[in-house]
Amino acid sequence: MSVVDTTKVFKQDIFKGKVLLCSGGGSGICRGMTEAMVKHGATAVIFSRSKDKLEKAAKEMSAKTGGQVLAVAGDVRNPADVENAVKFTVEKFGRIDFLINGAAGNFLAAFDHLSYNAFRTVIEIDLLGTFNLTKAASQYLKKSKGAIINVSATLHYTGTPFQQHAGAAKAAIDALTKHWAVELGPFGVRVNGIAPGPIAATVGMEKLGPAFDLTAVPMQRMGEVQDIAHSTVFLFSEGATYISGVVLVVDGGAWLNPAYPAYPNIVLEPPQFNKL
Ligand code: COA
**Is the residue at 248 inside a domain?**
yes
Written as one string, the DSSP assignment of 95-124 is: ---EEEE---------GGG--HHHHHHHII
Whole-number Å distance between alpha carbons of 270 and 244 = 42
**Is the residue at 212 inside a domain?**
yes
pTM over 0.75: yes
Whole-number Å distance between alpha carbons of 107 and 110 = 10
Q: Which residue in 237, 251, 149 sits closest to 194, CA to CA?
A: 149
Query: Domains in the chain: how many in total?
Result: 1
Residue 238's alpha-carbon distances to 15, 42, 83, 139, 242, in angstroms, are 10, 14, 28, 21, 9
| Average pLDDT for runs of 10 along the chain of length 276 | 85 96 95 97 97 97 97 98 98 98 94 94 98 98 98 93 94 99 98 95 78 80 96 98 98 90 59 50
- Let me know: does 252 contact 218? Beta carbons within 8 Å: yes
**Is the residue at 169 inside a domain?**
yes
Residue 271 Cβ contacting ligand 1 at under 6 Å: no
* Ligand 1 centroid – CA 121 distance (Å): 7
**Is the residue at 12 inside a domain?**
no
CATH number at residue 163: 3.40.50.720
Whole-number Å distance between alpha carbons of 233 and 129 = 23
* Ligand 1 centroid – CA 118 distance (Å): 6
- Let me know: does 1 contact 32? Beta carbons within 8 Å: yes
Specify the pLDDT at position 273: 52
**Is the residue at 227 inside a domain?**
yes
Specify the pLDDT at position 215: 82
Q: Residue 264 burial (CB < 10 Å; 0-12/13-18/19+)?
A: exposed
**Is the residue at 14 inside a domain?**
no
Residue 107 Cβ contacting ligand 1 at under 6 Å: yes
Specify the pLDDT at position 271: 46
Q: Are strands 98-101 and 19-23 parallel, antiparallel or unpaired?
A: parallel
| Structural domain span for residue 120 | 19-273
**Is the residue at 9 inside a domain?**
no
> Mutation test of ligand 1: which of 29, 100, 121 has the most ligand atoms closer than 8 Å to its C-beta?
121
Residue 106 Cβ contacting ligand 1 at under 6 Å: yes
Specify the pLDDT at position 214: 77
DSSP code for 237? S
Bond preceding residue 210 cis, omega within 30 of 0:
no
Indicate the Cα dihedral angle 198, 204, 208, 210, nearest 10°: 70
Helix (H/G/I), strand (E/B), else coil: 81:
helix
**Is the residue at 10 inside a domain?**
no
Active-site positions?
152, 170
Specify the pLDDT at position 275: 52
Helix (H/G/I), strand (E/B), else coil: 42:
coil
Whole-number Å distance between alpha carbons of 86 and 102 = 15
Specify the pLDDT at position 135: 98
